[in-house]
Amino acid sequence: MKTFCFTIDDNIRFLKEIARGGAVSLFDHPYTALLKKLHGETGVKIQLNLFMRCEDFSLCDMPGKFKPEWEDCADWLRLSFHSDRENVSPYASAGYGEVFSDCGAVIDEIKRFAGERSAAQTTTVHYCDTTPEGARALADRGYKGLLGLFGAKRTSYGLDEYTADKIRGGSTVKIDGVTYAAIDCVMNLCGKDEMIRRIKELEPREHISVMIHEQYFYRDYPYYQPDFGEKLSAAFALFAAERRKSVFFEDIAE
């Protein structure tokens, strides 16, 4: 059966607003309400890759009172490490210790406020760039899959060009127990029609990975996309028409 996975990068703002906004439910926030609606309509599984902190908030500030809700939704909504904070290529030259420490801090907080079942076993590192030592640190933290960007003349996680070329062609590659695959479409980089065209071109592939970034959801973001939800609905409708099954990347990164 053909499959797809869907991830969202750069997540932190919705957690800050839930923590400080007096929410009774995890899904009182419009962002999480949208995700729940999409799951209810399409069955999509969603992974949110998290920053540890932003200017005046960290995951340490996220209350544990929503933990039962997180755990109840862990079959379709999971959380993972992305980076300590917003920063260009934060791990491009980082050694083992920095990546191991930053990753572990995020995982610990996820398990504290959302439960162990909510902690994903795959991720996308911010800017998809690590040293070999950094990639080994992620594996030692339990990550068995890494999604990256492998466009023309681009590689991720320090992989050589031969391996990168295989991945950008649609293959998954397993190295030292970690499965690498391409993010096939970054949905915020194009309009809805162009996004649909790009996804349709990928139809022959057995597996497709798509992603978007959290910040494009918010009206006060300079590059706000008012059709954020419409884009997601259109993509998931197309996958349904192709009879693709929604999976977490860890489901196929065995």
Domain 3-252 CATH (choose: 3.40.190.10, 1.10.10.10, 3.20.110.20, 3.30.390.50):
3.20.110.20
pLDDT at 152: 84
Q: Do residues 51 and 9 touch, judged by C-beta distance below 8 A?
A: no
Residue by residue, pLDDT tens for the chain (254 residues) are 999 999 999 999 999 999 999 999 999 999 999 999 999 999 999 999 999 999 999 999 999 999 999 999 999 999 999 999 999 999 999 999 999 999 999 999 999 999 999 999 999 999 999 999 999 999 999 999 999 999 988 999 999 999 999 999 999 999 999 999 999 999 999 999 999 999 999 999 999 999 999 999 999 999 999 999 999 999 999 999 999 999 999 999 97
Measured distance CA(72)–CA(195) in Å, rounded: 32
Question: pLDDT tens, 23-75?
Answer: 999 999 999 999 999 999 999 999 999 999 999 999 999 999 999 999 999 99
- Break the chain into its structural domains and give their ranges: 3-252
Measured distance CA(60)–CA(88) in Å, rounded: 23
Q: How many helices (H) and strands (E) does the chain have?
A: 9, 12
pLDDT at 125: 98
- At position 77, the amino acid (one-letter code) is L
Beta bridge mates, 148: 182
Measured distance CA(250)–CA(146) in Å, rounded: 9
**Beta pairing class for 57-58 and 53-54:** antiparallel
Q: Do residues 147 and 9 touch, judged by C-beta distance below 8 A?
A: no
